[in-house]
Amino acid sequence: MTDLRKLRIGIIGCGKIADGHAEVVKHLAGAELAAVCDREPLLAEQLAVRYGVPAWYGDVGEMLAREKLDVVHITTPPSVHLALTRQCVGAGAHVFLEKPLTLTAPESRELIDAVVAARRQMTINYWPNFDPPAMKFKKMLASGVIGDPVHVEAFIGYDLAGAYGQALMSDAGHWVHRLPGKLFQNMMDHIFNRIVPLFPDAEPEVHAFAFKRREAVRGDATDSMLDELRVFMRGGGVSAYGSLCSHARPVANTLKVYGTKATVEVDFNNRTVVTAASQRYPSAVGRLVPPFQMASRYLSEAKKNANQFRKSEFHFFAGMSRLLEQFYGGIRSGAAPPIPYVEILRVAEVMDRVIEQVYPATAGASVTGGAR
Amino acid sequence: MKILVTGAGGFLGKAIVERLLAHGETDLRCMLRDTSKARGLEEIASRYPEAKLEFVTVNLRNLAEIGRAVAGCEIVIHAAAALKGSPAEMFMDSVVASRNLLEAVVNEVRPIRVVLVSSFGAMGVAEMRRGAMIDESTPLERHPEQRDVYSHSKLRQEQLFWEYREKYGFELVVLRPGVIYGPGGGHFSNRVGLSLFGRFLHLGGNNLLPLTYVDNCAEAIVVAALYPGANGQVYNVVDDDLVTSKQYLSLYKDRVKPVRSVPVPYFALMWGSRMVERYSERSRGQLPAIFTPYKTRAMWGGNQFSNAKLKSIGWQPIISTHEGLERAFAAFRAEPEKAK
């Protein structure tokens, strides 16, 4: 790849998640972070200075006109994703967008249509699905060892006192509070982008309920934010549970797929993919052996992880690197983008169904932007 | 004379309010991020019944909220700053917040004297030899990207104040405190060491700690704020009779609680920092470069500190370092450090 001209990358929106993008792009062969932009120039400046980016801007139009970018990463709040995407593809750049794609599924469709009409490519930062355990799971599924999925459980833990949670809870004006689906809308892509690819094409049934478990009343906008979400889905012969859970510990991040041939649990935090052992021997002996089998499977996962660490392939955003390599590669070769657009839209549609049910009053309302 | 104090509900802010009252300033406006922070200030105010304390709740990220807080003030003491959070949040709350405050200041009709609480972190100490004297002539940091984000944000904040002064010509006084300590403050500056994997790595060795007891630091800010000749000046703030990192840790163990510490000599720390930096580069950031030779030189190289310029305008510490440490450690013993 090094013999090719490096793709010129830009970032719009220099909030917290932009650090992750800058860190990943910095180490990707075949790409250079050419410019960053934020409507608050001081934020653009700090990102540029810390990552040695040669140019920073407070105006998107100016950056696009001057920098001739191949790809723009849009890491702003979602309310401005559509407008920014139009501007970027209009200037000839491909776009890589943070989740959620937009505020509603129809708006997401408009965004993808705008990209297609401009003959550009887009993808969304579903990086956990490109992390090593997710890639291993996809291989297992394709090989047939799991059989057909019967039931799926996707679980995302969230720490309201963690780095992101605290930013949210300490600022009633944070843009996440203005999303129609609030915290859930900012997180649940990662629930449904795991479930949707395992469902048949038909529109699924979606039953959602949510509640607020924390007791503290702060007397501001943060109070109206629900923090526990449970979703039940069915599509054809496949069912799923999706959970976003802010109080259970440890803060887990898992996918469990019950297939016709085997049941597999993917742990995104611990980077393990383990098939449940079944009883192959009769009576008490049958119950004695499986825990040993499970222990041995976890041990082999631990060895594999240690090996990846040794080879410096164990980065936090390993999945984003993989996703971007595929996306940038597709741009060079003209191949299809790594995540099918239809899949992105199906995720957006499920999210709309959930928001309608858990925040009926705000669903479809528009919001204004802010720093991510 | 009406004086605005930003960050008035904070560790240093409360002490500034108290020292202003002690200096006979009775017309104070305290800017707070949320009303819960007013509790400690009300208790202070009750000791000065003749004073008028006004509380304004402002989020400095929102320019529109600031004008009313600045209106009618003759002095603005800017003590609000971010101490933690992501880099973007720290720049929002230290740098963007400062720019917003400055915009409000320059939009006022009456001239305002601005007093900035900057930091030792703004100075380019890593490029000086070990043991060099740090005073107001020490140049500003030239490689903020190689320092920690706090130092970077405080440097950019201070630069912003000088840029605005250059452009708009208001009176500006800058104070650069060293390590501010006292009851309610942090137990250990990174200059002493860091907790890592259940052990406390004692990194400061026999380096002098640039300590300033919170009330002494507040006194320095108030003295400089009220001193007519301070316009355009920088004052470093450190107390007298400073202790070394080793003395601090040993007294802490004696007065507060046992600490399982591992002393790391400077040469070993430097060697380790080189290794960490190289590994981080070679592994393409698999582990962050929390130690680098540059950071180590800045934080643990060891320096001498001067407060002569501050004393020349009439500042004297109100609490000796001996007494300050006893007070701080007594409070630490009573209230264990919050988990980070």
Q: Is B88's CB within 8 Å of A49's CB? A: no
For residues A85 and A122, is the Cβ–Cβ distance under 8 A?
yes
Model confidence pLDDT, tens digit, residues A63-84? 999 999 999 999 999 999 999 9
For residue B292, the distance in angstroms to the closest alpha carbon of chain A comes to 15
Structure tokens belonging to residue B280: 């981080």
ipTM: 0.94
Q: Is A40's CB within 8 Å of B59's CB? A: no
B140 at A interface, C-beta within 8 A = no
What pLDDT, on the 0 to 100 scale, is given for residue A167? 84
**Are β-strands A253-259 and A263-267 bridged in parallel, bridged antiparallel, or unpaired?**
antiparallel
Taking residues A122-127, what's their average pLDDT?
98
B295 at A interface, C-beta within 8 A = no
Chain B nearest-CA residue for A42: B96
Chain A hits for B284, Cβ within 8 Å: 27, 312, 315
Taking residues B255-277, what's their average pLDDT?
97
State how many domains chain B has. 1
Give the three-state DSSP class for A243: strand
Q: How confident is the model at residue B124 (pLDDT cuts 50, 70, 90)?
A: very high
Q: Is A18's CB within 8 Å of B88's CB? A: yes
Q: Which domain holds residue B49?
A: 2-186+210-241+303-334
Does B277 reside within a domain?
Answer: no
Q: Is A371's CB within 8 Å of B92's CB? A: yes
What pLDDT, on the 0 to 100 scale, is given for residue A363? 61
Chain B hits for A15, Cβ within 8 Å: 86, 88
Chain A nearest-CA residue for B95: A42
Among candidate residues A242, A271, A246, A279, the one with its CA nearest the CA of residue A257: A242
Q: Cα Rg for chain B, rounded, in angstroms?
A: 20
Residue A354 has pLDDT above 70, yes or no: yes
B96 at A interface, C-beta within 8 A = yes
Does B77 reside within a domain?
Answer: yes
A71 at B interface, C-beta within 8 A = no
pTM: 0.94
Model confidence pLDDT, tens digit, residues B297-339? 999 999 999 999 999 999 999 999 999 999 999 999 998 766 4
Residues A136 and A141: their CA atoms lie apart, in Å, by: 9
Q: Where are the domains of chain A?
A: 7-128, 129-310
A247 at B interface, C-beta within 8 A = no
Q: Is A166's CB within 8 Å of B85's CB? A: yes
Q: To the nearest whole number, what is the mean pLDDT of chain A?
A: 94
Residue A367 has pLDDT above 70, yes or no: no
Does B164 reside within a domain?
Answer: yes
A49 at B interface, C-beta within 8 A = yes
Q: How confident is the model at residue A286 (pLDDT cuts 50, 70, 90)?
A: confident
CATH superfamily of A7-128: NAD(P)-binding Rossmann-like Domain (3.40.50.720)
**How would CATH label the architecture of A129-310?**
2-Layer Sandwich (3.30)
Helix or strand holding residue B113 (H, E): strand B113-117
Chain A nearest-CA residue for B283: A312
Residues A108 and B131: their CA atoms lie apart, in Å, by: 60
Does B281 reside within a domain?
Answer: no
Of the residues A27, A42, A217, the best mutation for testing chain B's interface (the one with the most B CB atoms within 10 Å of its CB) is: A42
Tokens 């000086």 identify what position? B128
Does B22 reside within a domain?
Answer: yes
**Are β-strands B75-78 and B2-6 bridged in parallel, bridged antiparallel, or unpaired?**
parallel
